[in-house]
Amino acid sequence: MSAMCLKYWSFFGSNMSQMSLEEAVRSRRSVRGFLNQPVPQDVLNKVFDIARWSPSGTNMQPWQTYVASGSLRDRLRAQMMERVQAKVPPSQDHKEPKRNIGQVYKDRRRECAAVLYRAMDIEWDDKPARASASFRNFELFDAPHVAFLCMDEGFGLGSAWDVGMYAQTLMLAMTANGLASCAQGTMGHHPDLVREAFGLGDEVKVLFGISFGYEDTSMKVNEAHTERASLEDTVTFKS
């Protein structure tokens, strides 16, 4: 076993199958169907403890994470579903103005949706079925836990990048410890519900959420696997 693998395995703990950093990165994916099986508290403690070692500018560690489980998770899920069904528009704390993106990025986004729809046997022009699939976001894909990633209102875009690195570290730690996850921008659509649920002040701003738990391998949507652009298309080496 390589030194990197040994270091990584030791970091994540020896009570898991041996998994290298590369294996965790390549096997992590967005899972959209979970078992009704809560994650033990010791495992929760472990993965979130690992995530706190994420890098951040000047070590400010701007992330604030709030995890809903049990009855609180159920209440938030019901409230978000009710708002969506009532067509209440989103009111994100951080909303970027729409900008025109290149066609290559639009094509990647469309292909991602197509892969998911094919896995669920949904035709592209079947708008009701597509809407039902989208609504599953607010059902948390039946995950027993959802983590809301937040930061103080005084922080800007640079600190949001830090929160993104924290989220990646967290999801890799989950993967290495047998958990599945799905990062969701939709969890930032109704931040007032999150603040009310956790008793937070208005200065705490919600960026996004991560639904997580144990994957339900019987769900067809979890058979969907997206590809990545080639190294040549994404990295330029120059001397």
Per-residue pLDDT tens over the stretch 126-171: 999 999 999 999 999 999 999 999 999 999 999 999 999 999 999 9
Residue 3 token pair: 């030194």
Backbone angles phi, psi at 99, to 5 degrees: -130, 155
What CA–CA distance (Å, rounded) separates 78 from 103? 37
pLDDT digits (tens, 9 = 90+) for 159-177: 999 999 999 999 999 999 9
What CA–CA distance (Å, rounded) separates 30 from 211? 10
Domain ranges of the chain: 26-96+138-223
Per-residue pLDDT averaged across 217-223, rounded? 96
Query: Whole-prediction pTM value?
Result: 0.91
What CA–CA distance (Å, rounded) separates 10 from 12? 6
* pLDDT at site 7: 44
pLDDT of 4 over the 50 cut: no
How many residues does this entry show for the chain? Answer: 239
Calculate the CA dihedral of residues 137, 141, 144, 146 and round it to 10 degrees. Answer: -30
What CA–CA distance (Å, rounded) separates 152 from 200? 11
pLDDT of 219 over the 80 cut: yes
Query: Which residue matches tokens 């078992």?
Result: 35
Residue 90 token pair: 């989103």
Picking from 209, 221, 210, 127, the residue whose alpha carbon sits closest to that of residue 174 is 210
pLDDT tier for residue 18 given thresholds of 50, 70 and 90: confident
Output the CATH code of domain 26-96+138-223. Answer: 3.40.109.10
